Amino acid sequence: MTRRPHALLFDLDDTLWPIAPVIATAEQSWHDWLAQRVPQLTERYSIAELRRQRMALLERQPELIVDLYQLRRVALAQVLEEIGSDLRHLEGAMAHFAERRNAVTPYADVAPGLATLQSLLPLGVVTNGNADLGVIGLHQHFKVNLAACRFGRAKPDPAIFHAACAELGVDPAHAVYVGDDLRLDVQGAQRAGLRAVWMRRSDVTAAPLEGVQPDAICQDLHDLVQWVQGQMQH
Protein backbone atom coordinates (compact mmCIF):
# COMPACT_ATOMS: atom_id res chain seq x y z
CA MET A 1 0.00 0.00 0.00
CA THR A 2 1.36 3.44 -0.96
CA ARG A 3 2.12 5.68 1.99
CA ARG A 4 0.97 9.28 1.67
CA PRO A 5 3.98 11.53 2.39
CA HIS A 6 3.76 13.90 5.35
CA ALA A 7 7.13 15.63 4.84
CA LEU A 8 9.89 15.98 2.27
CA LEU A 9 13.60 16.16 3.13
CA PHE A 10 16.36 17.27 0.78
CA ASP A 11 20.03 16.84 0.14
CA LEU A 12 21.67 20.04 -1.17
CA ASP A 13 24.85 19.63 -3.27
CA ASP A 14 24.13 18.22 -6.75
CA THR A 15 20.46 18.01 -5.80
CA LEU A 16 19.56 21.71 -5.67
CA TRP A 17 22.68 23.07 -7.39
CA PRO A 18 25.79 21.74 -9.14
CA ILE A 19 28.68 21.68 -6.69
CA ALA A 20 31.81 20.56 -8.58
CA PRO A 21 32.39 23.86 -10.46
CA VAL A 22 31.72 25.82 -7.26
CA ILE A 23 34.31 23.88 -5.28
CA ALA A 24 36.84 24.11 -8.12
CA THR A 25 36.43 27.89 -8.30
CA ALA A 26 36.46 28.23 -4.50
CA GLU A 27 39.68 26.22 -4.16
CA GLN A 28 41.42 28.24 -6.86
CA SER A 29 40.35 31.50 -5.23
CA TRP A 30 41.40 30.16 -1.82
CA HIS A 31 44.82 29.17 -3.16
CA ASP A 32 45.23 32.62 -4.75
CA TRP A 33 44.24 34.27 -1.45
CA LEU A 34 46.84 32.23 0.42
CA ALA A 35 49.48 32.99 -2.25
CA GLN A 36 49.15 36.71 -1.52
CA ARG A 37 49.56 36.26 2.23
CA VAL A 38 51.56 33.06 2.75
CA PRO A 39 53.47 32.60 -0.54
CA GLN A 40 55.78 29.99 0.95
CA LEU A 41 52.75 27.75 1.46
CA THR A 42 51.46 27.90 -2.09
CA GLU A 43 54.96 27.58 -3.53
CA ARG A 44 55.22 24.27 -1.72
CA TYR A 45 51.63 23.01 -1.96
CA SER A 46 49.46 23.01 -5.07
CA ILE A 47 45.68 22.77 -4.86
CA ALA A 48 45.92 19.03 -5.55
CA GLU A 49 48.61 18.55 -2.91
CA LEU A 50 46.54 20.37 -0.29
CA ARG A 51 43.61 18.12 -1.20
CA ARG A 52 45.76 15.00 -0.77
CA GLN A 53 46.92 16.34 2.58
CA ARG A 54 43.29 16.69 3.71
CA MET A 55 42.46 13.17 2.60
CA ALA A 56 45.46 11.81 4.50
CA LEU A 57 44.29 13.69 7.58
CA LEU A 58 40.80 12.22 7.17
CA GLU A 59 42.28 8.71 7.14
CA ARG A 60 44.01 9.46 10.44
CA GLN A 61 41.00 11.25 11.96
CA PRO A 62 37.86 9.77 10.34
CA GLU A 63 35.65 11.60 12.82
CA LEU A 64 36.29 14.77 10.81
CA ILE A 65 33.98 13.43 8.08
CA VAL A 66 31.05 15.07 9.88
CA ASP A 67 32.49 18.57 9.27
CA LEU A 68 34.38 19.09 6.01
CA TYR A 69 34.92 22.75 6.86
CA GLN A 70 36.69 21.75 10.08
CA LEU A 71 38.68 19.13 8.14
CA ARG A 72 39.93 21.89 5.84
CA ARG A 73 40.70 24.16 8.79
CA VAL A 74 42.69 21.54 10.73
CA ALA A 75 44.59 20.51 7.60
CA LEU A 76 45.49 24.11 6.79
CA ALA A 77 46.64 24.72 10.35
CA GLN A 78 48.94 21.69 10.10
CA VAL A 79 50.42 22.88 6.82
CA LEU A 80 51.03 26.37 8.24
CA GLU A 81 52.83 24.83 11.20
CA GLU A 82 54.88 22.57 8.92
CA ILE A 83 56.27 25.53 6.97
CA GLY A 84 56.96 27.48 10.15
CA SER A 85 54.25 30.08 9.61
CA ASP A 86 52.03 31.45 12.35
CA LEU A 87 48.27 30.99 12.25
CA ARG A 88 47.26 34.63 11.86
CA HIS A 89 45.79 34.05 8.40
CA LEU A 90 43.94 30.85 9.30
CA GLU A 91 40.53 32.35 10.09
CA GLY A 92 40.71 34.77 7.17
CA ALA A 93 41.49 31.91 4.81
CA MET A 94 38.55 29.88 6.10
CA ALA A 95 36.17 32.84 5.85
CA HIS A 96 37.31 33.41 2.26
CA PHE A 97 36.69 29.78 1.34
CA ALA A 98 33.26 29.75 3.02
CA GLU A 99 32.20 32.82 1.05
CA ARG A 100 33.26 31.28 -2.26
CA ARG A 101 31.79 27.87 -1.37
CA ASN A 102 28.37 29.48 -0.92
CA ALA A 103 28.47 31.17 -4.33
CA VAL A 104 26.21 28.50 -5.78
CA THR A 105 23.66 28.87 -8.56
CA PRO A 106 20.55 26.77 -7.96
CA TYR A 107 19.15 24.87 -10.90
CA ALA A 108 16.41 26.81 -12.72
CA ASP A 109 13.70 24.46 -11.44
CA VAL A 110 14.63 24.86 -7.77
CA ALA A 111 12.93 28.13 -6.77
CA PRO A 112 9.55 27.39 -8.40
CA GLY A 113 9.75 23.73 -7.44
CA LEU A 114 10.41 24.43 -3.77
CA ALA A 115 7.65 27.04 -3.69
CA THR A 116 5.13 24.50 -5.00
CA LEU A 117 6.34 21.69 -2.76
CA GLN A 118 6.29 23.99 0.27
CA SER A 119 2.59 24.61 -0.38
CA LEU A 120 1.99 20.85 -0.26
CA LEU A 121 4.22 19.55 2.53
CA PRO A 122 6.65 20.73 5.22
CA LEU A 123 10.18 20.67 3.82
CA GLY A 124 13.51 20.02 5.51
CA VAL A 125 17.20 19.57 4.78
CA VAL A 126 19.63 16.84 5.82
CA THR A 127 23.13 17.58 4.54
CA ASN A 128 26.71 16.48 5.04
CA GLY A 129 27.92 19.75 3.52
CA ASN A 130 28.49 23.26 4.78
CA ALA A 131 26.19 25.31 2.59
CA ASP A 132 24.59 28.35 4.25
CA LEU A 133 20.99 28.50 3.05
CA GLY A 134 20.62 32.02 4.44
CA VAL A 135 23.49 33.28 2.29
CA ILE A 136 22.25 31.30 -0.72
CA GLY A 137 18.71 32.60 -0.26
CA LEU A 138 16.70 29.40 0.08
CA HIS A 139 16.29 29.15 3.87
CA GLN A 140 12.67 30.36 3.78
CA HIS A 141 11.51 27.13 2.15
CA PHE A 142 12.63 24.80 4.95
CA LYS A 143 11.29 24.22 8.45
CA VAL A 144 14.29 22.07 9.41
CA ASN A 145 17.92 22.39 8.34
CA LEU A 146 20.05 19.62 9.84
CA ALA A 147 23.74 19.56 8.94
CA ALA A 148 26.14 16.79 9.96
CA CYS A 149 28.64 19.35 11.27
CA ARG A 150 26.10 20.54 13.85
CA PHE A 151 24.42 17.20 14.56
CA GLY A 152 27.63 15.21 14.99
CA ARG A 153 26.73 12.32 12.69
CA ALA A 154 26.70 12.20 8.92
CA LYS A 155 24.66 10.43 6.26
CA PRO A 156 24.16 7.50 5.85
CA ASP A 157 23.85 7.19 9.65
CA PRO A 158 20.14 6.63 10.36
CA ALA A 159 20.33 8.95 13.35
CA ILE A 160 20.54 12.13 11.28
CA PHE A 161 17.48 11.15 9.22
CA HIS A 162 15.55 10.24 12.37
CA ALA A 163 16.49 13.54 14.03
CA ALA A 164 15.20 15.53 11.07
CA CYS A 165 11.94 13.59 11.07
CA ALA A 166 11.57 14.19 14.80
CA GLU A 167 12.08 17.93 14.33
CA LEU A 168 9.36 17.93 11.69
CA GLY A 169 7.10 15.80 13.88
CA VAL A 170 6.67 13.01 11.33
CA ASP A 171 7.29 9.29 11.46
CA PRO A 172 10.15 8.22 9.14
CA ALA A 173 7.70 5.92 7.33
CA HIS A 174 5.80 9.03 6.19
CA ALA A 175 8.85 11.05 5.15
CA VAL A 176 10.53 11.10 1.75
CA TYR A 177 14.19 11.97 1.22
CA VAL A 178 15.45 13.43 -2.06
CA GLY A 179 19.11 13.25 -3.05
CA ASP A 180 21.60 12.52 -5.81
CA ASP A 181 23.85 10.01 -4.03
CA LEU A 182 22.60 6.43 -4.15
CA ARG A 183 24.60 5.26 -1.13
CA LEU A 184 24.37 8.24 1.20
CA ASP A 185 20.96 9.53 0.21
CA VAL A 186 18.84 6.72 -1.21
CA GLN A 187 20.21 3.71 0.64
CA GLY A 188 20.84 5.75 3.78
CA ALA A 189 17.30 7.11 3.92
CA GLN A 190 15.70 3.76 3.12
CA ARG A 191 17.67 2.01 5.83
CA ALA A 192 16.39 4.67 8.23
CA GLY A 193 12.82 3.80 7.27
CA LEU A 194 12.12 6.67 4.87
CA ARG A 195 11.25 6.43 1.23
CA ALA A 196 13.86 7.89 -1.11
CA VAL A 197 13.79 9.67 -4.45
CA TRP A 198 16.94 9.59 -6.56
CA MET A 199 17.51 13.04 -8.10
CA ARG A 200 19.35 12.00 -11.22
CA ARG A 201 20.02 15.24 -13.08
CA SER A 202 21.33 15.06 -16.62
CA ASP A 203 24.54 16.96 -15.82
CA VAL A 204 25.49 14.64 -12.94
CA THR A 205 26.76 11.25 -13.98
CA ALA A 206 25.76 8.50 -11.57
CA ALA A 207 25.55 4.80 -12.22
CA PRO A 208 23.08 2.47 -10.52
CA LEU A 209 24.29 0.89 -7.28
CA GLU A 210 23.79 -2.83 -6.92
CA GLY A 211 21.03 -3.68 -4.49
CA VAL A 212 19.72 -0.11 -4.22
CA GLN A 213 16.28 0.56 -5.67
CA PRO A 214 14.96 4.13 -5.31
CA ASP A 215 11.27 4.59 -4.67
CA ALA A 216 11.28 7.01 -7.60
CA ILE A 217 13.74 8.65 -10.00
CA CYS A 218 13.36 12.32 -10.94
CA GLN A 219 15.38 14.53 -13.28
CA ASP A 220 14.37 17.82 -11.66
CA LEU A 221 11.95 19.36 -9.18
CA HIS A 222 9.21 19.57 -11.81
CA ASP A 223 9.31 15.76 -11.96
CA LEU A 224 9.35 15.64 -8.18
CA VAL A 225 6.29 17.87 -7.87
CA GLN A 226 4.35 15.56 -10.19
CA TRP A 227 5.45 12.48 -8.23
CA VAL A 228 4.55 14.03 -4.87
CA GLN A 229 1.16 15.17 -6.14
CA GLY A 230 0.48 11.63 -7.33
CA GLN A 231 1.48 10.19 -3.97
CA MET A 232 -0.79 12.60 -2.10
CA GLN A 233 -3.83 11.37 -3.97
CA HIS A 234 -3.62 8.03 -2.14
Mean pLDDT by 10 residues, the chain (234 residues): 87 96 97 97 97 96 94 97 94 97 97 98 97 97 97 96 98 97 96 97 73 95 97 85
Q: Are residues 142 and 217 in the same domain?
A: yes
The domain of 95 spans 20-101
Task: Check whether residue 114 and residue 96 sit in a common domain.
Answer: no
Same domain? For 181 and 209 the reply is yes
In a domain, 42, yes or no: yes
Q: Count Cβ neighbours within 10 Å for each residue of 192-203 and write b for 16 or more, e otherwise.
A: bebbbbbbbbee
- Inside any domain, residue 164: yes
Q: Is residue 1 part of a domain?
A: no
Structural domains in the chain (count): 2
Measured CA to CA, the distance from residue 82 to residue 115 in angstroms comes to 49
Q: Give the helix/strand (H/E) hosting 75.
A: helix 68-82
92 lies in some domain:
yes
Final residue of a structural domain among 55, 82, 101: 101
Domain shared by 136 and 215, yes or no: yes
Asked whether residue 2 is assigned to any structural domain, the reply reads: no
Domain identity same for 33 and 82: yes
Q: Strand 195-199 and strand 216-218: pairing?
A: parallel
Asked if 194 and 93 sit in the same domain, the reply is: no
3-state secondary structure of 197: strand
Rounded (5°) CA angle 56-47-22: 105
Q: pLDDT tens digits, residue range 21-62?
A: 999 999 999 999 999 999 999 999 999 999 999 999 999 999
**Residue 30, domain CATH:** 1.20.120.1600
Q: Is residue 151 a contact partner of residue 171, using CB atoms and an 8 Å limit?
A: no
Q: Are 78 and 33 part of one and the same domain? A: yes
Helices 47-60 and 20-37, packing angle to 10 deg: 100
Here the CATH number for the domain that contains residue 140 is 3.40.50.1000
Q: What is the pLDDT of residues 56-83, one digit of tens each?
A: 999 999 999 999 999 999 999 999 999 9
